[in-house]
Amino acid sequence: MYDLVIRNGRVIDGAGNPWLRANVAVEGDRIAKVSRREMEAELTVDAVGLVVSPGFIDSHTHSDSTVLENNIGMNFLTQGVTTVVTGECGGSMYPLDEGAQRSVEAKLRTRSMDPAKVAVDWLSLEDWRVKLEGMEIGVNHVPLVGHRTIRTRALGNERARALTMPEPTEIEA
């Protein structure tokens, strides 16, 4: 017996194949089986007239800091988005130095967010990952490092000038 079976939906597999009327069995947080046959489950959902598909990827969300907000993952999930990509516009939530850490914290405070979420207690990608995992944001998160963030780390407030040799070549992420 499965945890969940979504029955009679138009299953679109995401690989470009034609849709298939089928049942989708879920065990835990994984798709266990897709079949035209009946399957037993603790919970069933009738999806007649509905599409059942893998989650969508939003590759340009501008949600670099909003992933910290309450229920942001639910907002994405209700639209079918299960993966968000951030950092694509040049800014990112890492790597930070102490100055950038204070700047990000000040920005978050203006959003009237929960103080625990405003606490910028990360500097690196690993720290950021741990922060998000602890919050259970509800969606998969693909954080890119922003080119503007790297340039600012290397050049500080002089970032509007052309690079010269030698510029810092290593930045601890």
Q: Does domain 2-52 have CATH number 2.30.40.10?
A: yes
Whole-angstrom distance, CA of residue 23 vs CA of residue 11:
8
The CATH 2.30.40.10 domain(s) of the chain lie at: 2-52
Q: Where are the beta strands (DSSP E) in 59-107?
A: 81-86
Which stretch of DSSP H or E encloses residue 142? Answer: strand 140-143
pLDDT digits (tens, 9 = 90+) for 62-71: 888 888 876 6
Which stretch of DSSP H or E encloses residue 98? Answer: helix 98-109
pLDDT digits (tens, 9 = 90+) for 39-91: 999 999 999 999 999 889 999 888 888 888 766 778 888 888 999 999 988 88
Instruction: Please give the torsion angle defined by the CA atoms of residues 99, 105, 109 and 114, in that order, rounded to the nearest 10 degrees.
Output: -160
Contact by Cβ (8 Å): 122, 96: yes
CA distances from 50 to 6, 57, 69, 166 (A): 10, 20, 30, 59
pTM above 0.85, yes or no: no
